[in-house]
């Protein structure tokens, strides 16, 4: 089973959106048993908080289940046991350094389907629909890439 970890700043917008979108895609593709999917933050600011309401609304509007959850900070164990760590922006990548992460398994989510583009933080832009579309595009590309490798 391949362990996929999505990472953003606070784990209340982008990374849980990616987690839920990717989970939905693997289930619909009938390969849910091949992946363990999770998300976390590179900060402690939002630990324990649920998915931010505008992000949750966008997911639900697209038929993506979004159960209540608590944001969590990345741990060294998460970093060690993940097979693939996907960050939303360069700042997230930079902050991974303090977790002694093996960077051979780290990439920007946008490297899968968006030519390396960063996924902007909708907390500041309020463009949750745009971020959802980008995350969906990247998750579809990522799933294709992973299934082709097996």
User: Catalytic amino acids?
Assistant: 8, 14, 121
* ∠ CA 145-146-148, rounded to 5°: 65
Question: DSSP secondary-structure letter at 150?
Answer: -
Strands 84-87 and 35-41, by their bridges, are unpaired
CA 145: distance to chain centroid?
16
């Amino acid at each position: 089973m391949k362990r996929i970890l999505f990472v953003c700043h606070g784990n209340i917008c982008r990374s849980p959106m990616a987690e839920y979108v990717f989970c939905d895609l693997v289930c619909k593709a009938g390969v849910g048993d091949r992946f363990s999917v999770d998300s976390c933050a590179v900060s402690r600011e939002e630990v324990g908080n649920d998915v931010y309401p505008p992000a949750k609304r966008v997911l639900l509007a697209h038929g993506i289940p979004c159960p209540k959850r608590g944001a969590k900070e990345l741990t060294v164990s998460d970093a060690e046991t993940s097979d693939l760590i996907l960050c939303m922006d360069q700042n997230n990548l930079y902050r991974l350094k303090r977790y002694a992460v093996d960077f051979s398994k780290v990439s920007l989510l946008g490297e899968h389907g968006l030519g390396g583009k960063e996924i902007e933080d909708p907390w500041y832009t309020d463009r949750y629909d745009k971020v959802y579309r980008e995350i969906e595009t990247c998750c579809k590309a990522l799933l294709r890439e992973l299934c082709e490798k097996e």
